[in-house]
Amino acid sequence: MPQIAPTEAETAALARAITRANGLAKSDTRVGIVAAIVMDDEVIAWGDNHVLAEDDPTRHAEMVAITNACEHLERTSLKGATLVTTLQPCEMCLSAMRFAGIERVVFAAQKANVAGKYFMFQGLEIGDFAKACDDAFGWSGGTMEADVLPLYADGQE
């Protein structure tokens, strides 16, 4: 299930995330990366990037959104959910998604169009990740990319 089409709810959540990311990028302590967990056509959790605010390299927006969703549902399984994010998830976040049972991701800015600092394994592509999951993982990238790409193109968000 590699390439997917985003649903209306996923697209609406991404539009809200992009608006928030653009606002956060103007802050001194926040990074303009935002993620959401969508389940049954509703956003059940949000996550902003907290890496700089908490001096913790694992507090990516996707990780924060997963944590918030699990706490909200009071369980570790997010099977049936979609992660929506303003920047293509890194390898750590993709792994965390799968540990949580998430099988879909919709993102705006694509790896090929952003600064290299966002990815540690430059040779690993999202298609490789899907294959490693026996293609039980789908994604849609580049959705509304132009609205957020200036934040990540040079890595100075």
Give the list of residues 6+ apart from residue 137 with CB closer than 8 angstroms, or none: 1, 2, 98, 103, 104, 105, 129, 130
Is 5 exposed, middle or buried, given 0-12, 13-18 or 19+ CB atoms closer than 10 A? exposed
For the question of residue 62 being annotated catalytic, the response is yes
User: What one-character DSSP code corresponds to residue 40?
Assistant: T
CA separation for the pair 8, 106 (Å, rounded)? 12
Pairing state between β 104-109 and 82-87: parallel
- Of 8, 42, 54, 62, the active-site residue reads 62
End-to-end Cα, the chain, rounded Å: 32
Catalytic residues: 62
